């Protein structure tokens, strides 16, 4: 009489033990790091005051200076003289120290000296980021 031996089926499953170990380690890591972060926020610290502290400001708006064909300066839709332009540039620089941008838009028929005057006023007002713009070339259809 022959004896039949049941060899069973081949195990095709994935060993989950290493993956469970990794999940537990990650869980412990995040629990510990969250606890330290909580401790940092709960410290009772009296912050000092500074008289020269600068407020956090949003990205400043670009300051546009238009120069027409006759060399007149136009800001915010109104014509201004050189002194008024300088005062406006100083105010913009004071509102956004070191971050103010000036865009100079000049008529192509104006004398370049007027554009140079605006650049000089920007330098006097401590504004170093100024640009002269040009129109985009017309695309042929």
The enclosing domain of 79 has a CATH number of 3.30.420.270
* Residue 39 belongs to a domain: no
* Residue 138 belongs to a domain: no
* Residue 13 belongs to a domain: no
Entry pTM: 0.56
- What residues make up the domain containing 93? 63-132
pLDDT confidence bin for 113, thresholds 50/70/90: very high
pLDDT confidence bin for 123, thresholds 50/70/90: very high
The distance of Cα 138 from the centroid of its chain, to the nearest Å, equals: 31
Q: Domain total for the chain?
A: 1
From the number of C-beta atoms within 10 Å of its C-beta (0-12, 13-18, 19+), residue 92 rates as buried
Whether residue 50 has pLDDT greater than 60: yes
* Residue 113 belongs to a domain: yes
C-alpha 87/C-alpha 91 separation (Å) is 6
Q: Give pLDDT, residue 52.
A: 66
* Residue 126 belongs to a domain: yes
* Residue 98 belongs to a domain: yes
């Amino acid at each position: 009489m022959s004896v039949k031996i049941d060899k069973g089926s081949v195990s095709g499953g994935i060993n989950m033990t290493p993956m469970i170990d990794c999940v537990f380690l990650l869980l412990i890591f995040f629990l510990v790091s969250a606890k330290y972060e909580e401790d940092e926020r709960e410290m009772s610290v009296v912050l000092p005051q500074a008289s020269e502290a600068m407020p956090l400001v949003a990205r400043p708006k670009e300051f546009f200076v238009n120069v027409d064909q006759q060399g007149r300066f136009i800001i915010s839709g109104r014509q201004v003289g050189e002194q008024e332009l300088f005062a406006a540039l100083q105010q913009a620089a004071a509102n956004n120290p070191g971050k103010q941008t000036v865009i100079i838009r000049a008529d192509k028929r104006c004398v370049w000296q007027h554009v140079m005057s605006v650049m000089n006023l920007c330098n006097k007002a401590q504004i170093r980021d100024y640009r002269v713009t040009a129109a985009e070339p017309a695309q042929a259809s």
